Amino acid sequence: MLLEDFIITVYCVVDENLKKILKGKNIRKSGPSPSLTDSEVITMEIIGEYLSQKNDTAIWNYFKRHWLHFFPKIGHRTTFLRQCANLYHLKQIMQTNLSDTLCQDQDIYLFDGFPIPTCHLKRYKRSHTDLRYEGRVGYCAAKDLKYFGFKGHLLITQKRYHQELYSNVSFC
């Protein structure tokens, strides 16, 4: 999937979920409305995290440089940062709803991400494989390691309606 398509898909999912949560209510009591919609800000944060941007300022800089045609009203950095911080409660509700949807009738016991390096960071630009275009440079804080490759995610659950002693392991 192209990054443009991914950004559009994430925006549509976020916007749909926000409409379900808010049910037509306005979350702002007074003052001017921000130039970016809440769906746009949350989408930018999700995509920025996916692309391993270090913080909200780096996310703002990335979208200001590369995706201004998608977000023409991006505005000033501090306005973006305040709006990100003020949407914390909505993001938490969205995360809970997403977790409920993905793991219906299951208790989540573990969800974790881990690096899947495909080649050494110094060699990925010289690679002649198709993985060069699919992988990304990432950072693993647990190992304090920069790598070229993929991020894997592990979800371990145990179904409530079975009294099993083992967990079902699925890769997302």
Q: Are 148 and 124 in contact (CB under 8 A)?
A: yes
Q: CA–CA separation, 70 vs 41, rounded Å?
A: 12
pLDDT digits (tens, 9 = 90+) for 5-45: 999 999 999 999 888 888 877 777 777 778 888 899 999 99
| Higher pLDDT among residues 101 and 56, named by residue | 56
Going from N- to C-terminal start, the domains of the chain cover 3-100, 104-171
166 pLDDT band, cuts 50/70/90, is very low
Helix crossing, 77-86 with 56-66: angle to 10°?
130
Residue-level pLDDT at 164: 39
Does residue 108 register a pLDDT over 70? no
What is the value of pTM for the model shown? 0.63
